[in-house]
A = this chain, B = another copy of it.
Amino acid sequence: MSREERWLLHWSPRSPYVRKVMIAAHETGLEARIDRVRTVVGGTTPHLELMDDNPLGKLPTLILADGTAIYDSHVILEYFDSQHDGPRLIPTKGHDRILALRRHALGNGMLDILLQWLGERGRPAERQSPAHIALWKSKIDASVTALEGDAEGLDATPFGIGHIAIGTALGYLDFRFPEVTWRDDNERLVAWFDTFCARPSVKAHAPVDDS
């Protein structure tokens, strides 16, 4: 595959899954190959053009020059790692690989919960379920507590897919749920998140609510 091949990315400045991909593209030196197409999903209207490429109708979806569609964000990061010669986003094998993927699953799972929560909050009040919101809140709290216990491990391992997912999830908490005061009693995690936020790749792709 030619190094010059360009890719099209169904993109939004609001999507945390897109943010993961853009941070990864920046870290791996692949960002200049990506042409972003602003794609608006969310709410309850299907995006039929996007669904031609990805029937799940979700962001991000990456389109290669030959028309091949790649999704979800995890798979796009796998693809990026096959396209650059720098440090891997995903360790290639062993315990390091499984640990990085589990960290990714935790950060991404937090995002899945936060997106459900956001959708719930967008419903008419009489169709919201307080019991679901309480459950989701308890899972986010438990995840933050687990991450506080893993903060030194995050510091001690090379930056990669797990850090990207976890940092993006905490950033999305700040972006959409400022009322969740996750920093209280989690000073090691706060210190790690500060190092995450200081990375050029992270600063260059801050979430923007332009709706």
Q: How far is the CA of A72 from the CA of B97 in the complex (A)?
A: 14
Which of B93, B97, B128 is close to A127, meaning CB atoms less than 8 Å apart?
B128
Chain A contacts with B in 84-129, Cβ cutoff 8 A: 93-94, 97-98, 101-102, 104-106, 109-110, 112-113, 116, 119, 123, 126-129
| A135 at interface by CB-CB < 8 Å | yes
Chain A contacts with B in 129-150, Cβ cutoff 8 A: 129, 131-132, 134-135, 138-139, 142-143, 145-146
B residues in contact with A128, CB < 8 Å: 127
**Given contacts A56-B109, A69-B102, A94-B82, A138 and B46 within 8 Å (CB-CB):** yes
B residues in contact with A79, CB < 8 Å: 98
| A173 at interface by CB-CB < 8 Å | no
B residues in contact with A58, CB < 8 Å: 109
Which of B78, B94, B142 is close to A55, meaning CB atoms less than 8 Å apart?
B142
Q: How far is the CB of A102 from chain B (nearest CB, A)?
A: 6
Interface string of A147-169 (1 = CB under 8 A from B): 00000000000000000000000
Closest to A109 in B: B56
Which of B75, B93, B98 is close to A101, meaning CB atoms less than 8 Å apart?
B75
B residues in contact with A93, CB < 8 Å: 82
Which of B70, B82, B135 is close to A102, meaning CB atoms less than 8 Å apart?
B70
Size of the chain A interface, CB-CB below 8 angstroms:
47
The reply to whether B57 and A139 form a contact with Cβ atoms under 8 Å apart is yes
**Given contacts A75-B102, A82-B94, A131 and B44 within 8 Å (CB-CB):** yes
Chain A residues engaging chain B, CB cutoff 8 angstroms: 44-46, 51, 55-58, 69-72, 74-75, 78-79, 82, 93-94, 97-98, 101-102, 104-106, 109-110, 112-113, 116, 119, 123, 126-129, 131-132, 134-135, 138-139, 142-143, 145-146
New contact pairs (10) apart from A51-B139, A116-B116, CB-CB < 8 Å: A55-B139, A56-B139, A56-B142, A57-B139, A71-B102, A71-B106, A75-B102, A75-B105, A82-B98, A126-B127
